[in-house]
Structure 1
């Protein structure tokens, strides 16, 4: 039996609510009342015979059914928007939404993006940054570039490259760092991954260092604070070449420890569009070039 007609307004109300996890924010975006959004979503749930949201005291949470519907609906709306934009501009354009951990975006991706735009003028790449915590479906992303071990629930992952961690500090601090154990006398800046300095200590063959410095949620912040002379940071040196080139940071020791890799990730339920395929292939080629240049 054919599914009863599903009103476009209700589907749009669900998609906006799922992105914001809020009926109120969806109402502001769509220029209607919060009551109208809630009514449209409730009607859609009744037509489908499932609950799409769990109503919480502070906002919404997607159910499994809502989470499975969102990427397909998002893709459909994006394709409609892309087609309408082609009509308006007179040229083929396909939007590609990519999220990236900030360190990767600033230290590796942005310097190379001009090459991608030149090779693919038909793709409108829209980049957002994050601190490695991302929800592909809720944020409407085609891809997310992340750091880790490659295992994220419901997500396909393509490994790009490792980015080993190494200590870095301002030039003024290096005079007091003759051997790795000397780091025990300095503030060791920390990220939310609490075991980094312990693992680096093992690689250096010294007693575990006790990090006593502040905690930061990104390697970019760690590098900036270290460059200001406030301590020693453990960061992926590969992504901070500009700091070494301008003399803001130095590596007191060559010892590195690998704690993960950078990955291109996307929803397993998502079919890859031509723009997604083009970006994946370009990113893979650029990663291989970088690996080859480091090996020379």
Structure 2
């Protein structure tokens, strides 16, 4: 591999080959594997890493009884290099395929991702092949700016500082449980003798119980930071969960979950949020418009 160097002012230039050799060796924790990946000899990798260490004035690797280990200085360098090389490789791959794609990084509350978005993703891909969609999940705690996200799908009231929020859908919350548990629930008052599975949003149960005339019921039972996990616990008969009906249509249709009472309440909606300070990209506009269109069709009472 021909050696290119990056110079900063009058400083001794940094070898790109050295950076690449270090990144590969740190990722594999092996000079041999790095040499195979880069198509050079092991001694060449060792030489490049040693030259980089001399340039930085710090050891990047150390030998242990278990093999190669990355030093603290190496650990500080690796994430930035790894991300940079992955971005460059991805960009070149897209050029090789003859497709100019635009990356869109979206953080999605897990319940929405599993219950609504994933079943429709193939439709989006077919309509907008230029969008290279990167999906991350969250439990409704997300920092759009701090995590370098293009946008996020969250649950709440949409009033988030510094964010422009596009309304997607209101969530209808109702108790759901397994068929076996449902057999013992004939009226809301029967919940007093049942384990209530709770989410980190404590107001969900309180709002529903108040609407059912059970404001005096004491909340007890395990707390989950994921509605999807809470739904799994409900399906296994561990208790009754309060869940958004729209996100568990498949489970309700398959009768893995039962809605024992028709009463449903709302404590918020799903929103697509983006930074007001950043101009939306073509990929983000396509994704937002597609979501809004899909929502209009989904919420159409005649569907």
Alignment partner, residue 46 of structure 1: none
Aligned equivalents of 2:133, 2:239: Cα separation in 1? 37
Deviations 1:90-140 (A, max 9, x none): 222111111100000000000001100000111111111111111112222
Contact 1:197 1:210 in 2 (8 A): no
CA RMSD of aligned residues (A): 2.9
Report the Cα distance in structure 1 between the residues aligned to 2:137 and 2:297, rounded to whole angstroms: 24
More helix by percentage: 1
1:111 aligns with 2:161: no
Deviation at 1:285, TM superposition (A): 0.2
Aligned twin of 1:27: 77
- C-alpha distance 238-23 of structure 1, shift in aligned 2 (>3 A): farther
- 2:264 is equivalent to residue 214 of structure 1: no
State the TM-score, normalizing by the size of structure 2: 0.71
* Unmatched 5+ stretches in structure 2: 1-8, 15-71
Cα 1:205/1:134, change in 2 over 3 Å? same
Correspondences of 1:81-100 after superposition (within 5 Å): 84=92, 86-100=94-108
Deviates more, 1:98-107 or 1:84-93: 84-93
CA distance in 2, matches of 1:24, 1:208: 58
Q: Quick check: 1:191–1:215 contact (8 Å CA) kept in 2?
A: yes
Q: How does 1:19-168 map to 2 (within 5 A)?
A: 27-31=77-81, 84=92, 86-168=94-176
Within 5 Å, give how 1:266-277 maps onto structure 2.
266-277=274-285
What is the CA distance between 1:195 and its match in structure 2?
2.0
Unaligned runs of 5+ in 1: 10-21, 33-77
Flag the 1:207–1:29 CA change in 2: closer, same or farther, 3 A.
closer
**Alpha carbons of 1:24 and 1:261: their partners in 2 closer, same or farther (altered >3 Å)?**
farther
Give the Cα–Cα distance (whole angstroms) in 2 for the partners of residues 283 and 133 of structure 1.
21
3-state DSSP of counterpart to 1:138: coil
Aligned length: 236
Residue 234 of structure 1 is aligned with which of 227, 237, 242? 242
**d(CA) in 2 for partners of 1:290, 1:203:** 27
Q: CA distance change for structure 1 residues 93 and 82 in 2, over 3 Å: closer, same or farther? A: farther
CA distance in 2, matches of 1:263, 1:215: 24
* 8 Å contact from structure 1 (residues 132, 146) kept in 2: yes
TM-score by length of 1: 0.73
Shift, 1:222, TM fit: 1.1
Could you list the per-position Cα deviations for residues 169-216 of structure 1 after superposition, in whole angstroms to 9, with x for gaps in the alignment? 110112211111110110001111122212101211233332211000
Question: Which consecutive segments of 4 or more residues in structure 1 shift more than 2 A?
Answer: 22-26, 78-89, 205-209
Q: Say if 1:82 and 1:95, in contact at 8 Å, map to a contact too.
A: no
Instruction: Report the Cα offset of residue 254 of structure 1.
Output: 0.7
Distance 1:23 1:140, change over 3 A: farther
Higher Rg: 2
SS for the counterpart of 1:118 is helix
Deviations along 1:252-281, one digit per CA (max 9) or x if unpaired, are 001001000000001111111111110010
